[in-house]
Amino acid sequence: MSETVDVVIIGGGFAGLSAAIEAKLKGKNVVVLEKMARIGGNSVISDGGIAAANTDLQEKYKIEDSIEMMKEDILIAGKYRNDTKLVDVLVNHAKDAFIWTRDFLGVEYSDRVDIFGGHSVPRCYTPKNVTGRDLIKALEKKCMELEVDIRTKILVEDFIVVDDIFEGVKIVENYQYPKETDGELKELYAKDGIVFATGGYGRNQTLIKRFKKEFIDLDSTNKPSADNHLLEKLLDYPIKMVDLDQVQLLPSTSIDEKGFGDGSLFGDYVVFPLGILLDPKTMRRFTSELIDRGRLSEEMMNIGNYVIGLADQDAVDMAGWDISKAIKKGVVKKYHSLEEVAVAFEGSLENLKETLKRYNTFIEEGVDRDFDKSLTNHRKIKHPPYYVMRMRPKIHHTMGGLKISEKGQVMSINHTPVKKLYAAGETAGGIHGAARLGSMAVTDCVVFGRIVGQSF
Ligand SMILES: Cc1cc2nc3c(=O)[nH]c(=O)nc-3n(C[C@H](O)[C@H](O)[C@H](O)COP(=O)(O)OP(=O)(O)OC[C@H]3O[C@@H](n4cnc5c(N)ncnc54)[C@H](O)[C@@H]3O)c2cc1C
């Protein structure tokens, strides 16, 4: 039995749903296929932070930024592996993407602008509830208003390719993740095109083993379902793949809980910008806490099993986020003095005191003479209680994937667009190069999802 629609979108995350809305607004008959019982993918468990330069919020807080600075930050983090044409598209459409989520879809953002490692100025906007669920809900609501046909529990198993044209997909209905399937495959044809928006492969052991085997034993922040098995299928076609060995670790996570957990908020928003990282063996700093995630993870992995993230009460107050969940869970621990910290980690109290004294002098002078960390808005670390987390990076983002054009067309190994196949979101490669900056994935998904949707 077969069916034909205009546009088939595989994946109900930020990228797929953004593409669906734009294609529907072009008057197309759109179907979104999602293998899980609910849409959302990794998008729904993300913090939902989105980055853009030259916004009204930056203007309000007198933050000077530019498209050129944003591009340079992305390229430095990406170690210049990035496809610069795609980066241009990303930075030029970022502000529009942020405004679209806020003013068109109605996502409410906190009245603040954050900075994450590798961004040279604050340019990250976090939804009020600090979760990607806010944007997923808003995208879903708009899809419902527009009567986009979203079908869950549909696994796309394969493609229908005729004379090198991607004409449709083979699907399993009523799919129960994570069961193996052996049922009859239904065929769904797409008149205008198929959008591959299946997310990353952070939980795909076959791909990690093949392309980044040194990470095979690491935990991941991703949902178990973030395996993108369908990408493996595309390896059999003459399709250009890029950077499949570029897998990002997230440095802000705790060794004392599984997955993304509750501690990452403390790591990202408190320790890195307002606290310090210490080697527990020496009680000394070993890096700037605000370098990009790729380099920071490398520095942390070089130290050993775990490192210590430390901040004081002032830092927690100043960051303004609620870290009570992580404290209740025992992931972030509270100590009333530096003596208590040294005893808990069996480290040298003398070194710990010396490290803080030195760091506080840097704050006074406004220059980190050891690691050149940007100390804007920093306060001395000296007001107990001290908050401490044992930290170890986890697999977070896969920068590699399908090579795409500036219009989101999937490219063949002959450098020509594959007919009727498009991609957007984490499954597309080459945009972030060696490392994705914080909040840049949401921007990427919305920018390229919209561009692909508008192209029909
Ligand atoms: C814990 C966490 C926090 C993060 N926080 C941030 C942040 O604050 N800011 C930021 O920029 N980035 C963040 N990221 C990264 C960002 O969330 C992801 O890169 C982004 O959401 C990916 O969106 P996507 O649409 O490409 O894929 P996803 O959201 O993963 O959606 C893909 C969907 O495709 C479905 N699918 C896959 N294969 C098939 C198939 N064969 N058939 C049918 N359906 C299929 C999946 O089930 C899934 O629902 C975070 C990531 C994680 C894991």
CATH number for 382? 3.90.700.10
Which residue's alpha carbon is at the smallest distance from atom 6 of ligand 1? 46
185 CA from centroid of ligand 1 (Å): 25
Residue ranges of the chain whose pLDDT lies below 50:
none
Q: What is the reported pTM? A: 0.95
**DSSP H or E run through 423:** strand 417-423
pLDDT in tens, 203-222: 999 999 999 999 999 999 99
Residues 286, 403 within the same domain: no
Residues 169, 50 within the same domain: yes
Residues 337, 449 within the same domain: no
Residues 388, 402 within the same domain: no
Residues 272, 165 within the same domain: no
Residues 386, 402 within the same domain: no
Residues 309, 446 within the same domain: no
44 CA from centroid of ligand 1 (Å): 7
Enclosing domain of residue 158: 2-201+396-454
Question: Angle at CA 251, nearest 5°, toward 246 and 252?
Answer: 140
Residues 355, 429 within the same domain: no
Single residue among 374, 392, 410 that ends a domain in this structure: 392
182 domain residue, yes or no: yes
Which residue's alpha carbon is at the smallest distance from atom 14 of ligand 1? 46
Distance of CA 414 to the CA centre of its chain: 30
50 domain residue, yes or no: yes
Alpha carbons 153 and 45: distance in angstroms, whole number: 19
Single residue among 344, 364, 392 that ends a domain in this structure: 392
Residues 381, 425 within the same domain: no
**DSSP H or E run through 403:** strand 401-403
13 CA from centroid of ligand 1 (Å): 6
Residue 2 has a pLDDT of 82
120 CA from centroid of ligand 1 (Å): 26
Residues 412, 319 within the same domain: no
Residues 274, 415 within the same domain: no
Asked whether 10 lines ligand 1 (CB < 6 A), one says yes
Residue 378 has a pLDDT of 84
Residue 1 has a pLDDT of 67
Count of domains for the chain: 2
Torsion of CA 253, 256, 259, 263, to 10 degrees: -40
159 domain residue, yes or no: yes
Q: What share of the chain is helix, strand, coil (3-state, %, to 5)?
A: 35, 20, 45
Which DSSP letter does residue 438 get? Answer: T
Residue 400 has a pLDDT of 98
Single residue among 350, 369, 392 that ends a domain in this structure: 392
Domain CATH number, residue 436:
3.50.50.60
242 domain residue, yes or no: no
221 domain residue, yes or no: no
Residues 186, 271 within the same domain: no
332 domain residue, yes or no: yes
Residue 48 has a pLDDT of 97
The residues, ordered by sequence, that sit 6+ positions from 361 with a Cβ below 8 Å of its Cβ are none
